Copies of this chain bind each other. A is one copy, B any other.
Amino acid sequence: MSLVGLFEELNGLSRFELGGKGFGLVQMTAMGLPVPPGMIIQTEACKQYYRQGGKMPEGLLDDVRKKLAMLEAKTGKRFGDPSNPLLLSVRSGAPYSMPGMMDTILNLGMNDKVAEGLVKLTDDPRFVYDAYRRLIQMFGRIAMGVKGERFERELEAVKHRLGVKSDVEIPASEMRKLVEEFKKIVREETGREFPQDPWEQLRMAVEAVFKSWNNPRAVEYRRYYKISEELGTAVNIQTMVFGNLGENSGSGVGFTRNPATGERRLYGEYLPKAQGEDVVAGIRTPLPIEKMSPELYRQLEDVAEKLERHFKDMQDFEFTVENGKLYMLQTRNGKRTAQAAVKIAVDMVHEGLITPEEAILRIDPLELNQLLHRRLHPDIKVNPIAKGLNASPGAATGVVVFDTDEAAERGSRGEKVILVRPETTPEDIKGIIAAQGVLTSRGGMTSHAAVVARGMGKPAVVGCESIRINMDEGYFKTAEGLTVKHGDVITIDGGSGQVFLGEVPTVEPELTGELNELLAIADRYRRLGVRANADTPQAAEKARALGAEGIGLCRTERMFNAPDRLPIVREMIMAADDEGRRKALEKLLPFQVKDFMEIFTAMRDLPVTVRLLDLPLHEFLPPPDQILKEMLELVNKPGKEAELAEKQALLRKVQILHEHNPMLGHRGCRLAVTHPEIYVMQVRAILTAAIEVRRRIGSTAKIQIMLPLVSERNELAYLRSIIDDTARKVFEELGEEIDYKVGTMIETPRAAITAPEIADVADFFSFGTNDLTQTTFGFSRDDVEAKFMANYLTKKILPSNPFETLDVKGVGFLVKHATSEGKKRNPRLEVGICGEHGGDPASIKFFNESGLDYVSASPYRVPIARLAAAQAALEVREKIPITI
């Protein structure tokens, strides 16, 4: 079967066969919208190209010729015929939109002869040679590998020489010269002539599309978005229409709703006398779509309504007006901010366009991150130093960096940077990934920087034309003449488009109306409970406000190493005997009772899972270097002998406690088996606090006491008996009792394997998937991520970082085994997960499928988890296979 077809021949094929762009063109053609005729080479051809090691599929070009003949018949023009030439656009089109791949070659079919012919036909040599130089520029860069900068520099030089600002001001004669200059550049850079044969142009353009599937930026993008390498791209070959033909022409992009806010109103930009690429590249700042002629605007509104009714989603479309006639060049589901995504989904439910289930499934839970971004503190009034377009919401602070590589490098070291560029290109993806936010001086809401930043949920201010960037000397100047240098700190607010000097205080986000509504819908569908990991009363309050149904992990380390506790903790560690240890612990008790009371008050009526001390003792002592340094200062100082001796004892203790592999050492419940008195104190504090809170406010949290690092049933059994003893004593002293559960983290492979035995003595399990991943792989996260994880991902040894997305094959095997076997043995066993994976949507699907009862995630991941859990439940219901 032929892999090439005209738009009207392909109705019924999917976006996997046609690519996203082609799918839209075919659909629009079928809907009767005005689409310039064209053909599509299906993605299968690209797959064959790679399967054959980079060879064109046999017969493919013959099929293209056949279809082209049909296009010629349809349009009455002929490809390469100077007397009535057919010009083509060639575009890539992958199943998922992928900035970073080859985009577009326009005006294909132009050559010296055709140009001459067209001048005769149109009598507009400026237009003709502008179109020709654009072809050489795009074709040279994309199909022949010439660096784009050389063309850009030449164009700038001409404008400079002529003293004009914009391309449109370059006269025909200069355009003609430019064509010759561009051909010379191609010759110099490649050693080959720009091909005059239109068929050769077409062949090379098609192959360039295939090759662009695997260019480094595209590969990086797919990795970031976890898009399969196997999909391949289609090629769209379409007859040209010209937005740059004159005053009555232009190009534009539009959204059927506002992609930043979700508001239900046609939204877009229009650039008169321009081809589509000019709009997207952000080279001139376009007009709002409302400024178009009322007739065209009305036509567009009509198109928009049809598109939404057909696709049942907000559309992002491109159009060109040629001599007053509207042509639709593309439509696709529009990228949008998370805020818009949520509003659109909820609105469309109200409008009856989609079902609540569809609304739930439509939103990528990770996108909610954007809504949960920080924003500027509302009470703080600072004057901005500049204002641009509010392209992607959220406030971000960082040092100004102009170079993408530098941004990537500093960002990967954990530094907070703001990437500042005149505009961004696909080459800048890695800098954007690493930056806190992006600021550009050019481009609109649909410019590269804006689209990419929104996609990643990074704050971005674009088109901030009031600043002038000097890349070479590393500074930008504001309208007021303020100079901001490389390395200075700025804050951007992508919600308002404002730029501030220095760090501006920000506040944490809250759930907005539509998000609340969406999550309420999600809560109706999900089976998994959602709790939060929270160690402080503040975090607990926040978690509750974000919808957490309890605390799944309350770490107690902070209660030991807060500054007012640490001296006492050290006293305990240094104690010579049990008695000394107990005395020090006695002093810690009131602190911890107070801590727990605050948390239990915040979480009253909900479960709070308190994990008893997990850290090894040496974590509470200063590092040996520091002690040594302090000792050096005391040596031979009269009157300091006692202090010196004390430091010496401390150093000795540090040395005794030193471990070769602390991750696998004397910590967690192991420490408690040796020194049960620490847990005894903690349990006293927990139960005392719970009872005291109930006395004061009439209700309290549901207490769950959790032991870390269990690998053997007897550890839990032994400590549980000590906990129960302690509880009995506390209840006797206080004269009242309270329910509590005792359970365990499952964070060693052995705990997972022997889960049935452990389930005999546990009320609940909670998977510590961070440590479980470490022990299952034998990976020390600290070392592995620093030393070789990147290499493993590059070499495709692992499909993703298992500390971010649960490793289903290995760790997942243990999770499933422990859950099903544990529950088989103890049907009342409650099973949750409190590792970082608890907030990862792909992992949440797996936990749902594995029969867990709840996930617990950091407070700001709670909304994400609620939505992901609902999606997981819906996918199970609809038997959608889980891919992770």
Contact = CB atoms under 8 A, between A and B. Distances in A.
Given A665-B787, A784-B666, A673 B778 contact: no
A788 B660 contact: no
Interface of A: 659-666, 670, 673-674, 709, 711-712, 714-715, 718, 747-750, 753-754, 757, 771, 774-780, 782-784, 787-788, 791-792, 795-798, 807, 809-811, 813-814
Contacts of A791: 673-674
Given A753-B814, A807-B750, A777 B665 contact: no
A662 B673 CA distance: 26
Nearest to A709: B778
B661 A782 contact: yes
A747 B778 contact: yes
A714 B753 contact: no
A784 B753 CA distance: 21
Contacts of A748: 776-778
Contact of A797 (B715, B775, B797): B715
13 contacts: A662-B780, A662-B783, A665-B784, A670-B784, A674-B787, A714-B796, A714-B797, A715-B797, A747-B778, A749-B778, A753-B809, A754-B813, A775-B775
Contacts of A780: 659-665
Given A754-B809, A792-B673, A664 B665 contact: no
Nearest to A660: B782
Contacts of A674: 787-788, 791
A251 to B, nearest CB: 46
Contact of A712 (B709, B712, B754, B797): B797
A767 to B, nearest CB: 14
B788 A757 contact: no
The 10 closest A-B pairs by CB, nearest first: A664-B780, A661-B780, A750-B810, A749-B749, A748-B778, A665-B783, A666-B787, A660-B782, A661-B663, A661-B661
* Residue from A718, A750, A754, A775 with most neighbouring chain B CB atoms (10 Å): A750
A673 B753 contact: no
Contacts of A753: 776, 809-810, 813-814
Contacts of A797: 673, 712, 714-715, 718
Contacts of A661: 661-664, 780, 782-783
Contacts of A807: 750
B664 A778 contact: yes
Contact of A775 (B666, B749, B757): B749
Nearest to A798: B712
A748 B776 CA distance: 6
Contacts of A810: 711-712, 749-750, 753-754
Given A664-B778, A714-B798, 7 more contacts: A659-B787, A663-B778, A663-B780, A709-B778, A718-B795, A747-B778, A754-B813
A659 B715 CA distance: 29
A256 B810 CA distance: 59
B673 A777 contact: no
Contact of A814 (B714, B749, B774): B749
Contacts of A718: 795, 797
A814 B754 CA distance: 11
Contacts of A792: 673
A294 B526 CA distance: 94
A636 to B, nearest CB: 19
Contacts of A754: 809-810, 813
Contact of A711 (B660, B747, B777): B777
A354 to B, nearest CB: 40
A659 B785 CA distance: 11
A663 B662 contact: no
Given A797-B718, A810-B711, A662 B660 contact: yes
Contact of A749 (B666, B715, B757, B776): B776
A305 to B, nearest CB: 50
B662 A778 contact: no
A130 B813 CA distance: 73
A815 B795 CA distance: 29
A754 B749 CA distance: 14
A662 B778 CA distance: 10
Contacts of A809: 750, 753-754, 757
A665 to B, nearest CB: 4
Contacts of A660: 662-663, 780, 782-783
Contacts of A813: 753-754
Given A797-B673, A797-B718, A664 B779 contact: yes
A750 B775 CA distance: 9
Given A753-B810, A788-B670, A664 B776 contact: no
Contacts of A811: 750
A765 to B, nearest CB: 16
Contact of A788 (B666, B712, B787): B666
Contacts of A795: 673, 718
Contacts of A782: 659-661
Nearest to A757: B809
Given A714-B798, A795-B673, A797-B714, A783 B666 contact: yes
A147 B796 CA distance: 72
